[in-house]
Structure 1
Amino acid sequence: MTSPRRSAARRTTVLRREAVLLTAPLVVAALLGAAAPAGSAKPGAPGAGDSYFPLSGNGGYDVSHYGLTLRYDIASRHLDGKAVLTARATQNLSRFDLDLRGLTVTGVTVDGAAARFTRDGQELVVTPRHAPRKGREFRVTVTYRGTPKPVTDPDGSPDGWIPTDDGAFVANEPQGAMTWFPSNSHPKDKASYDFTVTVPKGYTAVANGVLRGQSTVHGLTTLRWHEAEPMAAYLATATVGKFRTEQYTTRDGIKVYNAVDAREAKKAAPVLKQLPSVLEWESRLFGPYPFRAAGSIVDHAPSVGYALETQTRPVYDSAPDLATLVHENAHQWFGDSVSLTSWKDIWLNEGFATYAEWLYSEQHGGASAQKTFDALYARPAKDGLWAYPPGDPGSGKNIFGTPVYARGAMALHELRRAVGDKTFFRVLRAWADAHRAGHGTTAEFIRLAQRESGKDVGPLLNTWLYAKGKPARA
């Protein structure tokens, strides 16, 4: 996400309950084995345990795939949805929660059998007819409808399904996914996705991954998107609008799809033209591009105020400048492929993407990273840059503030000065490679930096990431 966010500047076998009683002993045993004994099953937790967003995510299961079928009417802003989640129980599961805010649920099934459900705030509480046993896969289908509305984040900004004058700007960080589909909405649970989105003819719906097909029938256009790589729910999008689109394949074999609002097209064109060279440059620094697809969604959404690194295809509220393009695509490595385990570690996303901006400037005729660092360090101790430590901002209200971005990048620059360029860039590549398609923590990054450098850089990084106030120069 652009820095700071609010300024201008993320198993297919399923046992099914048979409609008739099967008497073959082996089949009966298999069916019984899919459900946990009633006395041993327990409810899944209503949250993933994140201190900043306690109700985001859920316990008791892990989702491997989302199949989302959506139909959105632009004029009425009405959404009809069907979500099919393939999941694995991590405990004997008597009931479980999904994150879903607003919208009317019309039905829930688990492995084809109707399930009881209730609503409790942002929680959709599902009680299956047969409790899934630990380690077993199961499939949940939720049908729903209504007018999705964005959620207001702790810092006062909107995220989720944000209506625009010609559709919707869909950007979920940190908690907006629940405004348009039921999910296990914490970065710890990543999954693959399929999207089938139907909109009125003349409009386009742009999601993550590769476009699998597009057709128009009876005045409605349906687009099918597939994201094979694991993705956190907050990185999903299905942005809708009247877009000019282009598709091409880079010389590295990456499928690019750009969608641009006509009102932003002239200003966006020279920046988007540089996307292939930006991806090549970042690949040289950080390692191979982690996905099969790339691109940009440039909307005209003046009320939003930010861009987001939606996986494979960042979404921009207006035509981006080059630094923003560099920033959001650096997130494809740092934040999207290597995801957070806890929101307090957000600097691992934003500090890295901000430092990518500094490096791009340094290597393309602009200010050096050292000059950028020095200008920031010159700010007085009472400046907002030093208001809280980036390694633990203290609350969800602070996760998109200047310290996370700028001081997070300064921590990386101090590491670079301490270990030298050769080792520093080896650390960045090793981090992206070791945690590719997975997760990371600050503690793991510090251990990796120490291992790769052979130096005790822990005290330095801990000072820049966790100490209160303005750190002393090393």
Structure 2
Amino acid sequence: MMKKRLLLTLFSALCLSTQAQDNNWAWGGPLDPAQATFDVKHYTLRLELAPEARTLGGSVDAVVELVAPTDKIKLNLINAYTVHGVKVDGKKAKYTRGDDALEVQLKQAYQPGRRVTVTVAYAGTPPEAANPPWQGGFTFAKDGNGRHWIGLSSQNEGAKIFMPCKDHPSDEPDEGVDQFISVPAPYQVAANGILVSEKKKGNQVTYHWKTDYSINNYGINFTVGDFAVTRRDYITVEGNTVPMVMYLLRENEQRATELMEILEISLKTQEKYFGEYPFRKEKVGIVETPYLGMEHQTINAYGNKFRFTTVGDAPYDHLLHHELGHEWWGNKVSVKDWADFWVQEGLTTYGDWLFVEEHAGHEAYMRHVKLVARNIRNEKPIIVREKNVDSDEAYHGEIYSKGAYVMHSLRYLLGDEAFFRTLKKFILDPAYTYGNQVTTADLQEYFTRETGQDIKPFFDLYLRTTEVPEVVIEQVSENSYSIRIPNISFTLPMEVRTDAGTRRLELSDKPVEVKSETAPVIDENGWYLKNVSIGESTL
């Protein structure tokens, strides 16, 4: 009964807002064959957001380069918007609309290598987020001074909820994005990259933001509000200067100094393990949002309400640190299929754990990992399929926690020196960064090549199944025990404590005998997710 009442309450609440999102838009999955014929190079957004009316309108240019012969370009744009016209290279073009997409007819079949610019003029009422950022859309809110405060989140929906685009994770605009976003004065727009200009015409102010880096679709973002802007230079681990820019609501301007100091500590910690901040030619950006947060490239959404904690010797904001970590894992390194979503979320979460180790010590790190392990239930594989997975299928809690735990286990398997050296080398390799998107196989093969140790069986077990090593201990004589893992066909090193002390042993489906007056303790420190059972004595 309580469940039924709750559902009715939620349904009523949603009905009260006629503009609330009533669709569950996913993206990814199999690439539409009509979209496999071209590669997106650049987007230009020229949009006007009206806070009072809650409408969005304008145009978007999509510059695409053909990779196969075609006479049409298919873009995604949800049906909430009305398309007012389409041009190809500045000339009016025919198009068809439907199914959250539009198909643009070229004047003839073009050959690979040809670039075309498709311009779509459109307007409408954008979807409001039901539960941002998990169920995204626009969040229309008011700050403490009664001014408009508008956020956008689209990780699970894709960019089609606010712009026409090729909405698939495999295609990022290689040459970046320009955004010309117009809002009424005195509101400001915080967005990706560098602020090129701010031009006022009448009561409207147009902000031109530009990024030259490749960027994933859900990373394209703008936030509107009455902000106080704080700036400070940051010197990267490589000695380069990059501006830290923070957009906070005016009512929270006094929190900027403390938040900036916490941001700098997090930057230094991330850089120690993963190398220089990836977007030093633009900025480190934070904008206060009316929802919890999201990793929008160079302008991370922050809605944690300044709930700071202390980790060892350092002040800490978990939300800020996590979203900042995505600048390395998610923005610099991004996946081409949501099948590998864990690479972005799991490695970022592992970076959260490393903050604990860096500032509170190794024992605190190990305690933290053990606490996390209690809530990993292994109900669903991290990789549900090797490819053609959409955002709904891929997204679940264990791509964070278990994904991080896989990296924790891999660290023990390889040893600290090899693990950290290889991980940093991977994220500094141009073959796997920015526009060169990755798969789990890329990461797996890189570690195997660099360390000389085949980690595929280990990844197969922990990422592609819900199984864990089933360690069986059996007493074979008065002071002797055998240890084996019958459900694996490869070798895993594990710590084994006997009455003689703790040593690292290679365990597999073949029994390993140890001498001890008491039953051995396996992996006492929790390097692996596993089950341990004591078999019946063979005496």
- Same-fold call, TM cutoff 0.5: yes
Closer, same or farther in 2 for the Cα pair 1:61/1:162, shift >3 Å?
A: farther
Structure 2 match to 1:430 = 425
Report the residue type matching 2:446 in the other structure. L
Q: Which residue matches 1:127?
A: 105
Contact 1:66 1:86 in 2 (8 A): yes
Measure how far apart 1:456 and its partner are: 2.2
After TM superposition, give the deviation of residue 370 of structure 1 in Å: 2.4
Match of 1:11 in 2: none
- The code of the aligned residue for 2:433 comes to R
Q: Does 1:330 align with 2:344?
A: no
> Residue 406 of structure 2: which of 408, 411, 415 is its match?
411
1:67 equivalent in alignment to 2:63: no
**Alignment partner of 2:197: what SS?**
strand
Supply the AA of the counterpart residue of 1:436.
T
Matched pairs, number: 419
8 A contact 1:264–1:318 mirrored in 2:
no
Q: Which amino acid aligns with 2:127?
A: K
Quick one: distance in 2 between partners of 1:99 and 1:152?
Answer: 21
User: 2 CA distance for matches of 1:318 and 1:204?
Assistant: 21
1:23-42 alpha-carbon deviations (Å, 9 max, x no partner): xxxxxxxxxxxxxxxxxxxx
Question: Given the alignment of the two structures, is residue 79 of structure 1 paired with residue 49 of structure 2, yes or no?
Answer: no
Closer/same/farther in 2, CA of residues 359 and 157 from structure 1, 3 Å limit: closer
How far did 1:151 drift? 6.7
Instruction: Flag the 1:49–1:217 CA change in 2: closer, same or farther, 3 A.
Output: closer
2:384 pairs with 375, 383, 392, which one? Answer: 392
Q: Identity of paired residues, percent?
A: 27
Match of 2:283 among 294, 297, 304: 294
Determine the structure 1 residue equivalent to 2:298.
312
Please give the TM-score of this superposition, normalised by the length of structure 2: 0.72
Q: 1:427 offset after TM fit, Å?
A: 1.8
For residues 391 and 199 of structure 2, what CA distance do their matches in structure 1 show?
A: 41
Measure the CA separation in 1 of the matches of 2:244 and 2:82. Answer: 36
Question: C-alpha displacement at 1:135, in angstroms?
Answer: 1.6
C-alpha separation between the residues in 2 aligned to 1:347 and 1:57?
28
Is the contact made by 2:284 and 2:298 (CA closer than 8 Å) also made in structure 1? yes
Alignment match of 1:215 (pick from 186, 199, 209) = 199
Counterpart for residue 375 of structure 1: 371
Worse-matched range after superposition: 156-165 or 89-98 = 156-165
Q: List alignment gaps of at least 5 residues for structure 2.
A: 1-25, 143-147, 309-316, 471-527, 531-539
- The answer to whether the 8 A contact 1:159-1:175 is kept is yes
Distance (Å, rounded) in 2 between the aligned partners of 1:441 and 1:164: 38
- What displacement does 1:171 show? 1.9
Distance 1:190 1:117, change over 3 A: same
Measure how far apart 1:402 and its partner are: 2.0
Q: Which amino acid aligns with 1:319?
A: K
Q: Alpha-carbon deviation of 1:269? A: 5.0
Structure-1 residue corresponding to 2:441: 443
Equivalent position of 1:99 in the other structure: 76
Gaps of 5+ in 1: 1-47
Contact persistence 2:28–2:390 (CA under 8 A): no
Per-residue CA distance 1:276-330 (angstroms, 9 max, x = gap): 33223212211222112333444352xx4x3110011111234355122221111
Residue 242 and residue 145 in structure 1: after superposition, are their counterparts in 2 closer, same or farther (change >3 A)? same
Q: TM-score, normalised by structure 1?
A: 0.82
The Cα shift of 1:415 comes to: 0.5
Q: Return the alpha-carbon distance in structure 1 between the equivalents of residues 81 and 298 of structure 2.
A: 28
Q: Identify if the C-alpha distance between structure 1 residues 425 and 188 changes in structure 2 by more than 3 Å, giving closer, same or farther.
A: same
Q: Which residue of 1 aligns with 2:358?
A: 363
Structure having the higher Rg: 2
Change (3 A) 1:56 1:103: farther
Q: Does structure 1 retain, via aligned residues, the 8 Å contact 2:196–2:210?
A: yes
- Counting only pairs closer than 5 Å after superposition, residues 214-233 of structure 1 correspond to structure 2 as 214-233=198-217
Range moving further from structure 2, 405-414 or 325-334 = 325-334
Give secondary structure in 1 for the equivalent of 2:109. Answer: coil
Residue pairs, 1:223-262, within 5 angstroms? 223-251=207-235, 252-262=240-250
Once the 2 structures are TM-superposed, how far is the Cα of residue 469 of structure 1 from its aligned partner?
A: 4.3
After superposition, give the CA deviation of every residue in 1:52-82 in whole Å (9 maximum; x if it has no partner): x766993211111111111111111122221
CA distance in 2, matches of 1:224, 1:279: 27
**Do the aligned partners of 1:308 and 1:316 also contact (CA within 8 Å) in 2?**
yes
